[in-house]
Structure 1
Amino acid sequence: MRAHLGLVGDRFHARPAHRRASVTVFAVESLEAITRELALAAVPNPLLPRRNVVLRGFPVDTLAATRLAAGALFSLDCGDGPVRFQANRPASPCGWMDEVLAPGAHRALRGRGGVRCEPLDDGVLRVGPAILVVDPA
């Protein structure tokens, strides 16, 4: 992870148009919800929506900016020290979700497609448990 640039190796890394939205954080609970709503046989693989960070146990979409307030500052620590993020805007799902997840997934994920963020620190994120801390300000 590189501050203000995104994930090294990601298609949006260091792209000027994407710096404030270079990392997308997503809640696996969104996939569980559409599994119920669309009566899917199994929860889709969390890698299919092409979000960079998938979390469990936190309402990720509440971090996004709204018309009235800036997005939240938060950090993730996978054991190598915290990496801070500025949440900026919702990650709106696209029509591709109907192809990769299931018919109707595009509409079902509206309002719960994750949040686009800017990393504020260099650091390391790993697969596995992490500590999420939201700045209370």
Structure 2
Amino acid sequence: MAQVEVLQLLVSPAHRLAGRPSEGPSPGPSDERVTRVEVRRGLGLVGDRYYARPAHRNAAVTIMASQSLPADADLRHTRRNILLRGVDIDSCVGATISLDCGAGPVEFAVKRPARPCAWMDVTIGPGAQRALRGRGGVRCTPLNDGVHTLGPATFRIMAGPDAAS
């Protein structure tokens, strides 16, 4: 069990990074970051563009480590959902993890890496896609319902890689 911090949460109702990166992001709210998210088992984050979509149910929530981002970048640039400080989330592929922000633990099956795309070079800056390889976060399936909020949280690897830590 480790103490971590949830730095940012993003619920994006629209897929703004679609089409050609050279054309720039689609219009939308200037800030889709929130202070609280509702997680639903097998469905994702309530209000997010991937919520309850069959093609994304095994990877509806993306979690990223803050140490992977430049200081001036945030979740709006990467389109990830949860930004954590204090854990190497990229090493958890294949694991079942638990994140408890104080309202009870929410478990996730960490399915696969969230690979950076060409949009990273547009939203973060030239070279970001290459720099984020292997550090782009992870795509997860929520295993139970719960709530996440900004601030201190408890992180635990329940099963899989490094479950003893």
TM-score by length of 2: 0.71
Count residues in correspondence: 122
After TM superposition, list the pairs within 5 Å mapping 1:48-63 onto structure 2: 48-63=77-92
Q: Aligned AA for 1:123?
A: G
Give 4+ residue runs of structure 1 displaced > 6 Å after superposition.
Answer: none
Deviations 1:6-60 (A, max 9, x none): 00000000001111100001001001xxx4xxxxxx5323432111011011111
Provide the aligned C-alpha RMSD in A: 1.2
Q: Select 1:120's aligned residue among 129, 143, 147.
A: 143
CA contact (8 A) 2:103 2:146 kept: yes
Are 1:132 and 2:161 matched, yes or no?
A: no
| Between structures 1 and 2, the one with greater strand share | 2
TM-score by length of 1: 0.85
Matched residues in 2 for 1:121 and 1:134: separation? 15
Are 1:72 and 2:95 matched, yes or no?
A: yes
Matched residues in 1 for 2:152 and 2:44: separation? 21
Matched residues in 1 for 2:82 and 2:96: separation? 16
Percent identity, aligned pairs only?
57
After TM superposition, list the pairs within 5 Å mapping 1:14-29 onto structure 2: 14-29=52-67
Stretches of structure 2 that go unaligned for 5 or more consecutive residues are 1-38
